[in-house]
Amino acid sequence: MAGLVIGGWFASIFFARLADQVGSYIGKQLKYQKGAKNKLNKLEVNLRKIHAVIHATDLGRHQKEHLEAWLCELKDAAFEAEDVLDGFEYQILRDTVKGKDKVHTNFSSASASFAQSTSVFFKRLFFRDEDLNELDEVIERFDKIVATIGNFLLPSDLGAQNQKHGVLCADAQSDVPEWRETTSIMNESEVLGREHEINSLVRLVEDDESEEIPDRVRHVYLSSSNLAKLYETAPKLKNLRSLVVNGSLLDTVAKSKLMDFIEVTLKRLKRLRVIVFDGLALDVLPESIGHMRHLRYLEVPGGQFIDLPKWICRLYQLQGLSLQFRSPLHLGRPLPRGMHRLVNMRYLNINPEKVSTIVEIGKLRSLQELREFHVRKKNGYELGQLRDMRQLRGQLSIMNLDMAGSASDCRAAELDNKEHLSALHLYWGQLGRKDNDKHEEVLEALRPHRNLTELRIIGYMGTESPSWLETSWLSNLEHIELEDCQGWEVLPPLGQLPFLKILHLKSLKLVKHICSGFYGGHSIAFPLLEELLFSDMGEWRQWSGVKASSQLFPRLRRLQIDRCHKLRGSLVLPTVLERLHVVLSDDVTWESYKKPHVVLSDDVIWESSETNDISAILKLSIDNISLLTDCLPAECLASLQRLDVVYCSSLESFTDEQEKWLQRLSSLEELRFSDCDNLTRLPTDLNSLVLLKTLHIEGCPKIDSRPEKGI
């Protein structure tokens, strides 16, 4: 009966897993001390017998009062066996990591995936006497359980169903079925052996004065003030797997006493898999944690740590570690040197600068998140450390690429096999900024996987783009930022990227022209681009190259151009306009409008009507009149009704060209000048603005006269 549930867990699957694990130890080329292998053989026999019986018999039809005690004993024995095997797993990991026998292994923890094949080769594997004694106890316990199986079997149990499934309970080599039934519906009548646990938990919840925690409980959450209950019950809690202590109610226990209490309590709970101290501002970790061979996850979200103890490096089965450190002053202090021994680590939530100090971090092959990798000219910090970290996902920032070795050293990182990475940030420092060729070789060698959706390149001094940006290799990119790349002269054809939504170009000092190559060779350039930023491009003079037959920026919503003082000529604006926010300024905050709008200037906002024509702009706010008049003909503003000139400190007076530009704003009804500190006189002739109704002047202290030709 594959679906039988005992006390909340699927018995058949659980026993099959345990038996497979024992079999994996026996089947490998392991040399044990005398008697160890025979004991493992005997344990496997018992596990497979129980697994076969659960498959073959309808235990659920027996009266629960006769079955419950047996099932509880079975469940406890199963958990105890799991702990013993987990202890063996720890021994194997320990010897593998330490390399006592120069072991080469491609071993994956059976506790992480029992279905995954493993290959471990040892000259000799020694288990502690304590482990072997526990194994003896488990075997003896299962012997008793197996001896009582007959009390729950009828002849029919081993008849037709055995023939159906091919089960022979008497032989260790039983042909146990490998198929498993799955269902999304659990029949409550098949959940057995749990009534006692449920009743105990109900009493615990209802009676806050209860002094005991149920013996068979596996997960406990309690306040620090209730640790006494846990301490007293701890010796009986052999099945406890998770402990969460909340310190928010820390009003009756002094911190020093609390630490002592936690220490002695944890010494009694050596089989824990998960420990969370929520809200406890611990500055040191309890030393007893260092002896928890089964621990998988440790979290102290409110910690005040300065350093981590060295013993953290011997928690070889640890898969998750989440800690906080006291202050930024301590972030530069390295983590213990042996952190690379935590080979099962998947989740490491520690300040990225701290994580970057781990030497030989490449040995953490299961790590799924590495926010920063700092290249150093030291062994154990080279880019090749990233080679086998194929499980990395999310964002990866590679710092100090100016310290990278040769192109072959960079290719050793094998970034193109990191299929789960979504964002890659590449940073060059100040060293070797004049070695353009070296920068180009490094960037070319760091080709990402084509699944990448975000790319940032900062401090690159090469003059040319890498080949993988010139082609459609990264066709899934949605976000690109190129910043402080002061040698880059010709931008790559980013317009061909079909999913690109955000493009930021900052401090590209040598870019003078943006022309047709930027848009790519497709009829629609930047088909999904929504946000485009040009910033601090001091040599940029011209934006051109658009073919009449091309469709450009069909979905652009925000265009920002700031500190591009040499830019002249018409702006390249979308061929179809629904809503656009354009900014030509040094101080910008994005604003939201219900109506379509455009912002243009060193702080410009255009608000348009419901049409898609840019000439329908109704409102415009600017802080650089020169940029506006140079980049946008007045004819494009035929419907403009309000013009605000604000914070335009460079404006002293209007040139003849600017006067003529203003006079062509035939629909203008409202003109405002605000906080223009150096403006000395208004436009000479406002009479041509026949619809002008309002002239507003505020914060312009140097204006001392009206327009020469009146209003």
Residue 567 has pLDDT above 60, yes or no: yes
Q: How far apart are CA 612 and CA 124, in angstroms?
A: 78
What pLDDT score was predicted for residue 210?
54
Q: How far apart are CA 294 and CA 288, in angstroms?
A: 13
H/E/C letters for each residue in 613-663?
A: CHHHEEEEEECCHHHHHHHCCHHHHCCCCEEEEECCCCCCCCCHHHHHHHH
What tokens were used for 402?
């100016």
Residue 475: inside a domain, yes or no?
A: no
Q: Output the CA torsion sign for 27, 28, 34, 40.
A: negative
Same domain, yes or no: 28 and 126: yes
Q: Confidence class of residue 479 from pLDDT cuts 50, 70 and 90?
A: very high
Instruction: For residues 396-416, give the mean pLDDT.
Output: 95
In this structure, are residues 487 and 436 in contact, taking their beta carbons and an 8 Å threshold? Answer: yes
Neighbours of 600 (CB within 10 A): 28
Instruction: For residues 247-268, give the mean pLDDT.
Output: 73
What tokens were used for 467?
């080949």
Instruction: For residues 616-640, give the mean pLDDT.
Output: 71
In this structure, are residues 661 and 686 in contact, taking their beta carbons and an 8 Å threshold? Answer: no
pTM over 0.85: no
In this structure, are residues 552 and 519 in contact, taking their beta carbons and an 8 Å threshold? Answer: yes
Residue 462 has pLDDT above 80, yes or no: yes
Q: Say which amino acid occupies 118.
A: T
Last residue of a domain, one of 341, 367, 393: 367
Most confident of 115-129, 174-188, 224-238, 639-653: 639-653
Last residue of a domain, one of 311, 343, 367: 367
Q: Confidence class of residue 689 from pLDDT cuts 50, 70 and 90?
A: confident
Number of domains making up the chain: 3
Residue 330: inside a domain, yes or no?
A: yes
Residue 388 has pLDDT above 50, yes or no: yes
Mean pLDDT over each residue of the chain, to the nearest integer: 77
Q: What is the pLDDT of residues 160-181, one digit of tens each?
A: 444 433 333 333 333 433 434 4
Residue 123 has pLDDT above 60, yes or no: no
What pLDDT score was predicted for residue 566?
82
Q: What is the pLDDT of residues 22-33, one digit of tens each?
A: 777 766 645 566
What pLDDT score was predicted for residue 289?
95
Q: Considering only CA atoms, which of 382, 381, 373 is closest in space to residue 352? A: 373
Residue 166: inside a domain, yes or no?
A: yes
Q: Confidence class of residue 556 from pLDDT cuts 50, 70 and 90?
A: confident
Q: What H or E segment, with its residue span, contains residue 96?
A: helix 64-98
Same domain, yes or no: 174 and 287: no
Residue 406: inside a domain, yes or no?
A: no
What pLDDT score was predicted for residue 141?
84
Same domain, yes or no: 88 and 221: no
Residue 67: inside a domain, yes or no?
A: yes
Q: Which of 285-289, 493-497, 599-603 has the lowest mean pLDDT?
A: 599-603
Last residue of a domain, one of 345, 367, 389: 367
More confident position, 224 or 9 = 224
What pLDDT score was predicted for residue 262?
86
Same domain, yes or no: 239 and 315: yes
Q: Which residues pair with 278 in a beta bridge?
A: 246
Same domain, yes or no: 164 and 18: yes
Residue 87: inside a domain, yes or no?
A: yes
Same domain, yes or no: 183 and 223: no
Cα-based angle 66, 70, 72 (whole degrees, multiple of 5): 120
Same domain, yes or no: 260 and 295: yes
What pLDDT score was predicted for residue 179?
35
Contact residues for 164 (Cβ-Cβ < 8 A; gap 6+): none
Domain that holds residue 236: 214-367
Cα 58 to Cα 54, 123, 175, 294, distances in angstroms: 8, 45, 19, 34
Same domain, yes or no: 146 and 276: no
Q: Which of 132-146, 338-352, 371-385, 481-495 has the lowest mean pLDDT?
A: 132-146
Same domain, yes or no: 157 and 272: no
Same domain, yes or no: 147 and 241: no
Same domain, yes or no: 148 and 219: no
Neighbours of 297 (CB within 10 A): 17
3-class DSSP state for residue 482?
Answer: strand
What is the bridge-based pairing of β-strands 542-543 and 597-598?
A: unpaired
Q: What is the CATH number of the domain that holds 344?
A: 3.80.10.10
Q: How many residues does the chain have?
A: 711
Residue 601 has pLDDT above 70, yes or no: no
Same domain, yes or no: 187 and 221: no
Q: Confidence class of residue 101 from pLDDT cuts 50, 70 and 90?
A: very low
Residue 403: inside a domain, yes or no?
A: no
Q: What is the pLDDT of residues 290-323, one digit of tens each?
A: 999 999 999 988 777 778 899 999 999 999 999 8
Q: Which residues pair with 558 in a beta bridge?
A: 531, 581
Residue 638 has pLDDT above 70, yes or no: yes
What pLDDT score was predicted for residue 593?
33
Residue 97: inside a domain, yes or no?
A: yes
Instruction: For residues 62-84, give the mean pLDDT.
Output: 75
In this structure, are residues 427 and 401 in contact, taking their beta carbons and an 8 Å threshold? Answer: yes
